[in-house]
Amino acid sequence: MDRSSVVGDSRSIQSNQQGPHERLLDIVKRHQQHPFRKPIAAFNQAAFEHASQWRQQRPQAPLILDAGCGVGVSTRQLALQFPEHLVIGVDRSEDRLSRRLGTLPENALLVRADLVDFWRLAEQAGWQPERQYVLYPNPYPKASQVKLRWHGHPVFPSMLTLGGRLESRSNWLLYLEEMALVLEFMGHSPVELSRLPETQLAASPLTPFERKYHLSGQPLWQLCINL
């Protein structure tokens, strides 16, 4: 979720956690036992219907979901990288989406919606994206915020049900280590967790955050799994 275009001044994540949250798997178990039933907001339903109608222009094209796309740089980059795919970037911030950088290719769409509803609507509609990207999500680094991290949120099972190749990136290794722990606990493996190569980051950063963190000298990490 890109929130800034400032380059090279980012601090490393500070947290009162030294390892995976001690209650994380208990939280995940509870979510599995009690499915998420929060009502869908009307504006999210409308946004999903708009995205569904847009998909009909090329109904046979494979789909990529760019979750938390911010200003849309990653959505545009992915659309250029995968010209035979349709790429939908979703972000809840009207301000970030209004600051999109550059013209979008014809195979890309930006949608303002809350992912908590969008993922569930996609699950209900039977969407099966070929790829899902969750790039530099808000880390919510305080231990008390663990339920706000995607892997600690009750919507996470819905996102996993969509399937495809999931790729998440972060400048906080522990975030991805926790996500890997939850994925394996839920029966998804093998999980690939690695540091992003310096050459890749210098040549083609996927988001403004990725560029800023790299120029600030922070190591960046990537989780990949075929769901």
pTM of this prediction? Answer: 0.93
Q: CATH number, domain at 66?
A: 3.40.50.150
- Alpha carbon distance 132, 86 (integer Å): 12
Is residue 13 domain-resident? no
When divided into structural domains, the chain yields a total of 1
Residue 20 counted as domain residue:
no
Q: Is residue 27 part of a domain?
A: no
Q: At what angle do helices 115-124 and 42-55 cross, to 10 degrees?
A: 50
pLDDT of 116 reads 97
Note whether residue 33 is domain-resident.
no
166 neighbors 132 (Cβ within 8 angstroms): yes
Q: Rounded CA gap, 92 and 47, in Å?
A: 11
The structure tokens listed for 114 are 């809350």
Measured between alpha carbons, how far is 117 from 126 in angstroms, rounded to an integer?
Answer: 14
In the predicted model, what is the mean pLDDT of residues 102-130?
Answer: 96
114: nearest Cα among 35, 42, 178, 28: 42
Give just the sign of the alpha carbon dihedral 132, 177, 209, 46.
positive
Q: Write the pLDDT tens digit of every residue in 131-172.
A: 999 999 999 999 999 999 999 999 999 999 999 999 999 999
How do 108-112 and 221-226 pair as beta strands?
A: unpaired
Report residue 1's pLDDT band, with 50, 70 and 90 as the boundaries: very low
In a domain, residue 208? The reply is yes
Element (H, E) at 91: strand 86-91
Dig out the tokens for 156 from the structure.
Answer: 């996470």
Distance CA(194)–CA(169), nearest Å, equals 10
Select from 131, 75, 143, 82 the least CA-distant residue to 103.
75
**Domain presence at residue 22:** no
Long-range residue pairs from 53-59, CB within 8 A, at least 24 positions apart, any chain? 54/86, 54/88, 54/109, 55/86, 55/88, 58/86, 58/107
pLDDT digits (tens, 9 = 90+) for 38-58: 999 999 999 999 999 999 989
The average confidence (pLDDT) of the chain is 93
Please name the residues in contact with 199: beta carbons below 8 A apart, sequence gap of 6 or more. none
199 falls in which pLDDT band (50, 70, 90)?
confident
Is residue 124 within 8 Å of residue 55, measured between CB atoms?
A: no
Around 59, how many Cα atoms within 13 Å sit in the side-chain half-sphere? Answer: 2
Domain extent for 83 = 40-226
